[in-house]
Chains A and B, each alone.
Chain A
Amino acid sequence: MSELSHNHDEHHADHHQEEGPHSSFSGYMLGFMASVFLTAIPFWLVMGDVFSSRNTTVLIILAFALVQILVHMVYFLHMNFQSEGGWTMLSLIFTVVLLFITLSGSLWVMYHMNVNMMPSMMSGGS
């Protein structure tokens, strides 16, 4: 029984497309090297106090995080426009839109709530 199903699997894999995306050693290594680079630099920037301005450092490490997320998506999660007939990319774009609305909306609304609060109600915040 198991021998039979095993043969069927081999047959299936040879004549049809493999279930998931095909990955390569060079792809994984490239992604890994890029990730090490993109992780090490933000840690160095913060731990070594490279920039005196906080805002400069924040912007740079956020940019590095964004690039690293893209690297992971492409080299580890094998994202592209073709997989599953484009449905994975479509759902990812939809999720990113929702993510953007959730994050920016929450931060924007709550920031103005804090700014417009009566001074007497502020509990010693800066």
Chain B
Amino acid sequence: MSHSTVSPAAQAGQFDFLVKGEHHVANGTLLGFWLYLMSDCLIFAALFATYGVLSQNYAGGPSGADLFDLPLVALNTSFLLFSSITYGFAMLQMQQRKLKGTMIWLAITGVFGAGFLGLELYEFYHLLHQGAGPQRSAFLSAFFTLVGTHGLHVCIGIIWLVTLLFQLRKHGLTTANRRRLFCLSMFWHFLDVVWIGVFTIVYLMGSLS
């Protein structure tokens, strides 16, 4: 009795397995890219920890309160925040399969990103000009490493974005390009999350001391 009921069920399960085996894993790349972002997060954790330890070691040099220009940082932060929402609009256009709209919002995102990078380079140039370069004190070494690494990520994000614009123009919103847009979206929003830590811990808390 029991034998006769179990046997067909097991056979059905076997067929299910064969049918399911034909499907490919749809979201493999997105999960893999998310895992990359998590490991990138650990790099930033190490840099934040280094900055936290060294942030008071001025070696008789200037402190954050002497150096940081908060209105400039506020402008920079708003650039990155605007670029996050414009990337969101690009994703919404992509969902509606509107190639032109996707490309326009992506380009606007790139302009905001470039503006952010330009202001950061201007700030770095200004600091170096004042003699407050990374070699001045442990505090400034940690500052340049942390903020510079974030800036490097934004720079790579912009290169990726421009590459994607050319690919979109050539191939349109194919499955591969939509996957790339999702990955860049995660990368871009992740950089904005890291920047929240940077402006709070480095700039705002640095200006208080």
Contacts and interface: CB of A to CB of B under 8 A. Distances in A.
A72 B31 CA distance: 18
A16 B81 contact: no
A58 to B, nearest CB: 6
Contacts of A31: 85, 88
User: Chain A interface residue count: which class?
Assistant: 35 or more
Interface string A68-79: 110011001100
Contact of B208 (A5, A58, A103): A58
Contacts of B186: 77
Contacts of B205: 58, 61
A72 B207 contact: no
A102 B42 contact: yes
A102 B39 CA distance: 13
Interface residues of B, number: 56
Contact of B41 (A13, A20, A54, A95): A95
A42 B200 contact: yes
Contact of A20 (B45, B50, B60, B182): B182
Nearest to A20: B182
Interface string A20-49: 101111001101100110010011001100
Given A68-B196, A77-B189, A94-B38, A19 B53 contact: no
B54 to A, nearest CB: 9
A110 B53 CA distance: 6
B123 interface: no
B175 A65 contact: no
A23 B95 contact: yes
A28 B92 contact: yes
B69 to A, nearest CB: 11
Contact of B174 (A9, A20, A64, A123): A9
Contacts of A19: 26-27, 30, 175, 178-179, 182
Interface string B177-209: 011001001100110110011011100110111
A119 interface: no
Given A46-B208, A58-B208, A106 B52 contact: yes
Contacts of A107: 49, 52-53
Given A57-B208, A65-B200, A106-B49, A28 B89 contact: yes
Cβ-closest 5 pairs across A and B: A106-B49, A28-B88, A65-B200, A20-B182, A76-B189
